[in-house]
Amino acid sequence: MNPKTPTIGGKKNLITRRSAIKKMGAAAGAASALTLAPGFVRYVQAQSSAPIKLGFQVHSTGIGAAYGRWYDRTTQAAVKLINEQGGISGRPIELVSEDDGTDPKRGAEVVEKFASQHQVDLVFGTLFSHVVIGAAPRAGELKMPYFVVSEGYHVASGSLNRYVFQPGITDVRSQVSSMAPWIAGNLGKKVTMIFPDYAFGHDHRDYFSAAIAAQGGSIAALLPIPPTESSYTKYFPQIPSDTEVIYHVMVGPGVLTFVKEMGEHYGSNRPQIFGFVDSLEAVDLASPGLEFLEGTYFWEANPRYAGPNQTAFDKFYREKVGVDANGASVSDPKDISTYSHMFGCWETLYVIKQAIEASGYQGPADKARLIEATEAMTGFSASNEHPQGDKLFDGKRHQCYGHQFISKVEGQKLSVVHQTSIEDGQYENDTDYTKQSL
Amino acid sequence: MDLGPHLLLALLEGTVAAFVLAVTALGLSLVFGVMRIVNVAHGEFFMLGAVLAWFLTSLLPEMPFWGFMLAIVGAPLVVGMIAVMADALVLRRLNYEPEATIVATIGLLYILQQAVLTIYGPDARPVVAPISFRVQFPWFGYSGYKFIAIGAAALLLLAAWYGVTRTKFGLIMRATQFDRETAQAFGVPVKLVYAAVFALGAMLAALAGVLIVPLQQAHYLMGLDPLLLSFIVVIIGGLDSLKGTILAAFIIGISDGIISVFFSPTLAKIIATLAVALVLVFRPNGLFGGRSR
Amino acid sequence: MRLRLADRRIWGLHLGLIAVLFLLQFVLPDYHHTNVARILVLATYAMGYNLLVGYTGLLSLGHAMFFAAGLYGAGLSIYYFDLHPVLGFLLGSAAALVFAIAVGLIALRTTGVAFMIVTMMFAQAFYLATLYFNSITRGDEGLVLAPEARRFAFFGLDFDLAEPVTRYNMALALFVGGLIVCLMLVRSPVGRVMVAIRENEERTRMLGYNARDYKLLALSLSGLLSGAAGAAYVLLFAYMGSTFAGIQYSILPLLWVLLGGVGTVVGPLIGTLLMFYLIDKTSEVMSSYLIVVGAVLVLLVLFFPKGIAGTLRARYARWMP
């Protein structure tokens, strides 16, 4: 971890920094008031108290709704906390939420609505990749900073634009790559992959195939499942019998069926099984039919069950969001969170706070400075603000990289058996958004 | 796995799919045949059946068997009542005009789906099978409940066949289907028949939903798939033919399983979809339908 | 030449509409400015749909295929071969036309509900194909057109499709083009034969018209217009993805047209506009805004079965095309 990493530390620190930034901000405001167009005067005059408006693009309906609900809870909790602690640059956050129906067309419209109707300072929170990719070009054209929480590789791949960041959650390429060494070393080297037959699944296919080959392993078979499928048993015979490890990643409402049917197919006589927890986000591991998962392994970005190695930061975050030690809502133990994704909203909000404060951002005219300040970041330390753990941030790629976890199902709970290093998830590419004009 | 066991598994899977599909499609076919309307909300009745099954079984958490029995009786009743209301408030007022009812049932689809989203939430929730055991074949294991589902669906189909061909209500229904005006002239209460048929169609969909929910999970968007498949089945089977509907359900259900043995799954879906379209074009009355009147 | 009263009214109405749409861009706030641009593109799609359903009575549930053929035809050729956007637009429209003719040759053997299902099946196969050829289309995730690919020179003028003013007027040009095609068609002898087919196919056939040729023509034009809208969409909004080939994008034009008024020239625009703002406004108030959409649909068919423009026409302006 880089010792120079700017951290948002304890409360004391916060107050002094806030007051310092206030002074800075006032000076900057006074200076810019002289040069800015008339339309911005109102903003500058009100800078000390006017709220920072954040547009929260949320999947309240459509296929992403189960995730969207927890993204919303996490975001509400973080915003409440930040506001209690004095807001951003002394200004409270005003959260404006809009549902995009998990649809790329509506996603683009929502970004437009945020930019020109709600006139927010920044948009964040989008999860599903097709919505991100559908909306990103509009964010770029409207020069609207767009902080996504999607885990897709779209940002780091360089296919989006300078206004799009993903500072709160590691991308799928890095996640997948970092799993290969442990799988090859502990479970086996002949892997059959079962994945949804669309872009998200193909990212897994491509990057895991490459990563396992680099560990001396090989792919026994690839089983793409069409997205319209609701029953899976007929695909299992295509798993070669010499398979040592089944690698599965499914998303959407059919996941429980998938896991159950795999259990019925194999019974106790099964190869090693490794899955991405995406297959079971928002699903209770004690659900009927999931007994079969006992002794299998899962990737987790953030351990759902509070284990013996739980950090104080995780404890704090869990309590604030209202999640119990089993990863369920404190008000309803059957209401399971999307624990391996939603922390991204929390952490992204603190990155936004840090970026706004570091850039002396006052209003929309300072967006370029906000972008540059975010690009200048190098990482975040594990803290209440970054409860998932340390992260590196690559300003050229606009993407952060963190530790990943591998957990074993024991007693219908997940317990962490391995934590990857950030280096395990490194890869080469030459994306450099800073070359694009602002 | 060798081809033999592989095909056996595909056949088993296809049979389960076919039986459940037959029940769902039979509902659509009845409504379609008697009332001459396309009920786009049919899949939502299926979904409501599954969601209500989740709700009713969760009332008796300690007794999965009795919970499920409650669901199999209660869910279709509730769905049937919703259907009667939809018929009285909307469809009857539209005088069952084909185009207007399509739009109205698309509206109904949204209303039901979003009401479930609001009340029940976006999660996929599992229901415990009333009886669960695993059947071990030499090559693979198989869910025992799937055999139960097959049996239950077969019973339902038998009952439906009996009802349509051997009872007085069946006779009235067929008379109405054959010629609405004449039936009315002979004193058949057509309005009542229509309401009953619409409710019956919805209840069959709901029953299929209850049967499937221990295999899949109850989710508010689960209605689209059975809707599309039922459409295909009804068309392939021919509009006026209950027998055709059931036969078509088997062809669709089983071929879906078998094709996926030989082709990449997504390609298999593309081929199957195009095949259905072509059957329709070259046998417009379905594979088993008679000549159109 | 002296125009008849009805002709004057018709030209007055439509030229007035175009003038209003042109002037709107100077008064609309930013947000609505972009919305109207998008609505104009989608309304062109709806007009294309209306050409088929409104003037031949054939209800298609597969128009997403034509929209997406235009979207991908234009988008992919620009993405992979750096085609000039104008050429890309023409190529996309042509792709949709080819698909429409191919589908027409097969599907027009059926009518009624069977036609709905056949078109839906073809569109579903097309949707699955966009996923299957993922290595080219990136499937559901889709592809983004770079800003450079959307800047071009045409007849000595420079255009940047990311510019709001350019976008608005391009969308308006597309819409006006579609409107003129529709007006000319429905007022031509060919259009009258189409309406005659809708009203009574048997009789039209007995009068010596080959109904199938006319239906094929209507479907081809309908596909072409839908494809042109798809091609314009990817150029103006820079994104293409499988979602646009999905069944919901086949249902949407049906809703817009039914809401606005089947078989009216201005209906599709009215329907698209209303539906857009209905969703936009209700989603601010409640999360299950689709309930409202559902309820509106039900109420509409109950009380305005001819759609808005259709009802207006029946009550006040029988001359309206």
Question: ipTM for the complex?
Answer: 0.84
- Calculate mean pLDDT across residues A176-184: 93
Residue B292 pLDDT greater than 70, yes or no: no
Residue-level pLDDT at A39:
38
Q: Quick check: is B264 in a domain?
A: yes
Residue C32 pLDDT greater than 50, yes or no: yes
Any idea which residue has 């810019």 for tokens? A32
- Nearest by CB to B110, which of C124, C293, C300? C293
Between residues B183 and B154, the one the model is more confident about: B154
Residue-level pLDDT at B287:
66
For residue B1, name the pLDDT band (cuts at 50, 70, 90). Answer: low
CB-based contact C287 A133, cutoff 8 Å:
no
Residue B285 pLDDT greater than 90, yes or no: no
For residue B168, name the pLDDT band (cuts at 50, 70, 90). Answer: confident
Q: Could you tell me which of A410, A212, A192 has the C-alpha nearest to residue A295?
A: A410
- Of the spans A166-180, A239-253, C50-64, which averages the highest pLDDT? A166-180
User: Residues of C with CB below 8 A from B107's CB?
Assistant: 293-298, 301
Residue-level pLDDT at A388:
95
- Nearest by CB to B100, which of C122, C129, C305? C305
Between residues A11 and A181, the one the model is more confident about: A181
CATH number reported for the structural domain that contains residue B9 in this entry: 1.10.3470
- Calculate mean pLDDT across residues C95-103: 96
Between residues A93 and B63, the one the model is more confident about: A93
Residue A264 pLDDT greater than 90, yes or no: no
CB-based contact C131 B266, cutoff 8 Å:
yes
User: Residues of C with CB below 8 A from A136's CB?
Assistant: 144
- Calculate mean pLDDT across residues A414-419: 94
Residues 6+ apart with CB under 8 A from A378: A2, A4, A5, A392, A393, A395
CB-based contact B122 A261, cutoff 8 Å:
no
Residue-level pLDDT at A48:
60
Residue B91 pLDDT greater than 50, yes or no: yes
Residue-level pLDDT at A373:
95
User: CB-based contact (8 Å) between C29 and chain A?
Assistant: yes
For residue B138, name the pLDDT band (cuts at 50, 70, 90). Answer: confident
Residue A10 pLDDT greater than 60, yes or no: no
Q: Is A287 left (phi over 0), alpha (psi -120 to 50) or beta?
A: beta
- Please list the residues that pair with A438 across neighbouring strands: none
Q: Could you tell me which of A329, A382, C83, C75 has the C-alpha nearest to residue B123?
A: A329
Between residues B208 and C203, the one the model is more confident about: B208
pLDDT digits (tens, 9 = 90+) for B260-284: 677 777 787 788 788 888 887 887 6
Residue B256 pLDDT greater than 90, yes or no: no
pLDDT digits (tens, 9 = 90+) for C144-185: 998 888 888 888 888 888 888 999 999 999 999 999 988 888
Distance CA C57, CA C38 (A): 27
Residue A53 pLDDT greater than 90, yes or no: yes
pLDDT digits (tens, 9 = 90+) for A293-335: 889 999 999 999 998 989 999 999 999 999 999 999 999 988 8
Q: Could you tell me which of A172, A171, A165, A161 has the C-alpha nearest to residue A138?
A: A161
Residue-level pLDDT at A9:
38
Residue-level pLDDT at A171:
94
Task: Give percent of chain B with pLDDT exceeding 90.
Answer: 31
Q: Quick check: is B290 in a domain?
A: no
Q: Quick check: is B292 in a domain?
A: no
Residue A29 pLDDT greater than 80, yes or no: no
Residues 6+ apart with CB under 8 A from B106: B40, B41, C251, C254, C255, C294, C297
For residue A169, name the pLDDT band (cuts at 50, 70, 90). Answer: very high
Task: Give percent of chain A with pLDDT exceeding 70.
Answer: 89
Q: Quick check: is B144 in a domain?
A: yes
pLDDT digits (tens, 9 = 90+) for A352-368: 999 999 999 999 999 99
Indicate which of A63, A128, A234 best probes the interface with B, i.e. most B CBs within 10 Å of its own CB.
A234
Residue A420 pLDDT greater than 50, yes or no: yes
Q: Quick check: is B20 in a domain?
A: yes
Residue-level pLDDT at C207:
82
Q: Could you tell me which of A11, B280, B87 has the C-alpha nearest to residue C62?
A: B280
Chains in contact with chain C (at least 3 beta-carbon pairs closer than 8 A): A, B
- Which uninterrupted H or E stretch holds B115? helix B98-120
Q: Which of residues 151-180 of A touch C (CB under 8 A)?
A: 152, 154, 159-161
CB-based contact C128 A133, cutoff 8 Å:
no
- Calculate mean pLDDT across residues A262-286: 85
User: CB-based contact (8 Å) between C143 and chain A?
Assistant: yes
How big is chain C by its Cα radius of gyration, in Å? 19
Q: Could you tell me which of C42, C4, C36 has the C-alpha nearest to residue C17?
A: C36
- Calculate mean pLDDT across residues C191-201: 82
pLDDT digits (tens, 9 = 90+) for C125-136: 999 999 889 889
For residue A211, name the pLDDT band (cuts at 50, 70, 90). Answer: very high
User: CB-based contact (8 Å) between C38 and chain A?
Assistant: yes
Mean pLDDT over the full length of chain B = 85
- Own/partner pairs for A145-149, CB < 8 Å, 24+ apart? A145/A121, A145/A367, A145/A370, A145/A371, A145/A374, A146/A111, A146/A122, A147/A122, A147/A123, A147/A348, A147/A351, A147/A352, A148/A124, A149/A71, A149/A124, A149/A125, A149/A341, A149/A344, A149/A345, A149/A348
Residue-level pLDDT at A80:
96
For residue C3, name the pLDDT band (cuts at 50, 70, 90). Answer: low
Q: Computed from CA positions of residues A299, A301, A304, A309, in that sequence, does the dihedral angle turn out positive or negative?
A: positive
Between residues B290 and C191, the one the model is more confident about: C191
Between residues A222 and C318, the one the model is more confident about: A222
Residue A28 pLDDT greater than 60, yes or no: no
Residue-level pLDDT at A31:
42
User: Residues of B with CB below 8 A from A336's CB?
Assistant: 123
Mean pLDDT over the full length of chain A = 86
Contact indicator for C274, C259 with CB cutoff of 8 Å: yes
Q: Which part of chain A is CATH 3.40.50.2300? A: 11-170+341-402, 172-300+404-425
Residue-level pLDDT at A316:
95
Q: How many domains does chain B contain in total?
A: 1
Q: How many angstroms separate the first and last alpha carbons of chain B? A: 50
User: Residues of A with CB below 8 A from C280's CB?
Assistant: 109, 113
Q: Quick check: is B171 in a domain?
A: yes
Nearest chain B Cα distance for residue A62, angstroms: 8
Mean pLDDT over the full length of chain C = 88
pLDDT digits (tens, 9 = 90+) for C242-279: 999 998 899 889 889 988 888 888 889 999 999 899 88
Q: Which residue of C has its CA nearest to B271?
A: C125
- Calculate mean pLDDT across residues A193-213: 90
Residue-level pLDDT at A15:
40
Q: Could you tell me which of C264, C251, C249 has the C-alpha nearest to residue C297?
A: C251
Residue-level pLDDT at A6:
41
> Domain containing B266: what range?
3-282
Which class in CATH covers the domain with range A172-300+404-425? Answer: alpha beta
How crowded is residue A30: how many other Cβ atoms within 10 Å of its Cβ? 11
Distance CA B160, CA B154 (A): 10
User: Residues of A with CB below 8 A from C131's CB?
Assistant: 197-198, 226-227
What are the angstrom distances between the C-alpha of C54 and each of A101, A296, B27, C192?
A: 30, 58, 31, 12
CB-based contact B103 C251, cutoff 8 Å:
no
Q: Which of residues 211-240 of C touch A (CB under 8 A)?
A: 237-239
Q: Quick check: is B259 in a domain?
A: yes
Residue B247 pLDDT greater than 60, yes or no: yes
pLDDT digits (tens, 9 = 90+) for B5-29: 888 888 888 888 899 999 999 999 8
Residue-level pLDDT at B240:
66
Residue C22 pLDDT greater than 80, yes or no: yes
Residue B163 pLDDT greater than 90, yes or no: no
Which class in CATH covers the domain with range A11-170+341-402? Answer: alpha beta
Between residues B43 and C316, the one the model is more confident about: B43
Between residues A73 and B268, the one the model is more confident about: A73
User: Residues of A with CB below 8 A from C142's CB?
Assistant: 104, 130, 133-134, 199
Task: Give percent of chain A with pLDDT exceeding 90.
Answer: 64
Nearest chain A Cα distance for residue C27, angstroms: 14
For residue A36, name the pLDDT band (cuts at 50, 70, 90). Answer: very low
Window from A118-122, B94-98, C61-65 with minimum mean pLDDT: B94-98
Residue B165 pLDDT greater than 50, yes or no: yes
- Calculate mean pLDDT across residues B129-135: 82
Nearest chain A Cα distance for residue C154, angstroms: 22
CB-based contact C134 A117, cutoff 8 Å:
no
